[in-house]
Amino acid sequence: MPRFDLRNKGQAGVPFYTPAQEPAAGTAALPAAAPTLFQPLRMRGVELHNRLVVSPMCQYSADDGHLTDFHLVHLGQFALHGAGLVVVEASAVEPRGRISPQDSGLWTDSQIAPLRRIVDFVHSQNTGAGIQLAHAGRKASTLAPWISDSARRELADEAHGGWPGHVFGPSAIPFSEDHAAPRELSVDDIRGLVQSFAESAVRAVKAGFDVIEIHGAHGYLVTSFLSPLSNVRTAPGRGLGPIVTMLTDMQRRTDDYGGSFENRTRFLREVVAAVRAVVPDDMPLWLRISATEWMEHAGAPSWDLEQSIRLAKLLPAWGIDVLDVSSGGNNSQQKIARRRTYQTDLAREIRRALRADGIDLLIGTVGSIDDAEFARHVVQEGPEQSADLALSARQFLRDPQWVLNAAHKLNVPVKWPNQYHRAGPKEVRKAFL
């Protein structure tokens, strides 16, 4: 055998030629000696080459739920530059589940092909591809942020592609005065939505995704079921007032989907079960939650850290492999205790509670993870570890090469893309000869 392989080997499993990235960009030259941030992590049948994950981020740029060349370039650049996992933005399981008329969707088979194109490119870089399945619930039918900010309005009406008369949630309580007034879901409606999540998951598998995340955060449909502030039954003619916590127990939803913790988590549990039943056994299933809705000041029951910990302890038995911790977004009167660690602290508390009970559920977290030292601190193995995975969104928008730049700042030699090899730091070129 020759000492050197002189072939410009192609990447296997993709429908076009591109040089094989072996190992993937962003892989440490000596993983065992690298910070935890640059060590591999296995979840079921998927192994990530580092712990830096591109968080789902809405781009308000889809065509009737179909992703376009914009998304190929937008997401492809992160795979090219070394992310451990690239997650496609919140993709609605039905048209009425979009946040905006230009959101991604996975409610019909024609949406598979453009997603498959993105997955193929991500895989061509030897990187994992994920997708977040979502339903906006009572926060649906809104305008893209750059339009709403300039127009000083949130709601997208029919003239602008919206569906304000067909927005719904667990209760007939709008998110805010400038959002649509939702109708309350019936039990039959709920069962139909559970099936919609399962059907979208089947399409995600057909598109080739490695990971599926269920969106249960930020005030969208799953969140609004979890919270006793949004999962209530309003009395006819009763004004909502400035704080919906004024509603009495007699006005709470009285069926199997409201009231107790078990009932408020039932919709989520059924969605997880339906998705887990239709995806391969070796496919990791993630869940994103808001660990608190930051409404403790209201003086009435709300979704909080204690309930998130209680939920987290149930998740492994449901088939969840990673809990992705965020916060807020379910009430316009939230009061966030803003500091750099306001979300990573929540993740650390959940992770500690799980480990104290001998539960090894992996934890991801997002929020202000925008420099190398902080990312390293968040996931570094030890008593202060907050999470096993560091998710970022805006930092990747600011710096698509953030994985490579973070590695350089931390003095960790990592692989660069083959085609960019000559531009890498000298120590990197030497390490991967």
23 upstream amide cis, omega within 30 of 0: yes
Residues in the chain: 433
* Residue 17 known to be catalytic: no
Q: DSSP states of 318-336 as a string?
A: HT--EEEEE---S-TT---
The one catalytic residue in 60, 220, 257, 342 is 220
Closest CA to 129 of 218, 195, 67: 67
Do 194 and 274 contact (CB within 8 A), yes or no?
Answer: yes
Contact 48, 54 (CB under 8 A): no
**H or E stretch at 377:** helix 372-379
* Angle at the Cα of 386 from the Cα atoms of 383 and 390, rounded to 5 degrees: 135
Long-range contacts for 355-359 (Cβ within 8 Å, ≥24 apart)?
A: 357/313, 359/312, 359/313, 359/316
DSSP 209-252: -SEEEEEE-TTSHHHHHH-TTTS--PPTT----S-GGGS-GGGS
Q: Which helix (H) or strand (E) holds 285?
A: strand 285-290
Task: Indicate the DSSP class of residue 138.
Answer: G
List residues with catalytic annotation: 220
